[in-house]
Amino acid sequence: MRVLFVTRKYPPRVGGMENLSYGLLTGFPEPKTTITWGGSQAHLVWFLPYVFLRVALTAHRYDIIHLGDAMLSAGGLLPRLLGKKK
């Protein structure tokens, strides 16, 4: 099973969502691909369009796309409608 994990809450930032994302990604067996953002929330203006474009262009490579929070849910809409991705 090929999985793409996408999250904007990841270490070195500290918090509950960051811990959840880190635990999920490090505990999941290979093969997996990750797109993470651990930097300042001020730079999300660059990260979000990158995520949407990358997910839209590479969704066909993965069986499952895991989006780490609701803010990223729009990035999974197109692959779900067109590619029947989970």
pLDDT tens for the chain, residues 1 to 86 = 888 888 877 777 777 777 788 888 888 887 788 888 877 778 778 888 888 888 888 888 888 888 887 777 776 666 666 666 55
Q: What is the residue extent of each domain of the chain?
A: 3-83
pTM, full prediction: 0.74
CB 9, CB 66: distance < 8 Å: no
What per-residue confidence (pLDDT) applies to 22?
A: 83
From edge to edge, which strands make up the β-sheet containing 3-7?
A: 32-36, 3-7, 64-67
What per-residue confidence (pLDDT) applies to 53?
A: 86
What per-residue confidence (pLDDT) applies to 79?
A: 67
Give the count of beta carbons closer than 10 Å to the beta carbon of residue 70. Answer: 7
Tell the burial category of 85 from Cβ atoms under 10 Å away from its Cβ (0-12, 13-18, 19+): middle
What per-residue confidence (pLDDT) applies to 46?
A: 85
What per-residue confidence (pLDDT) applies to 17?
A: 78
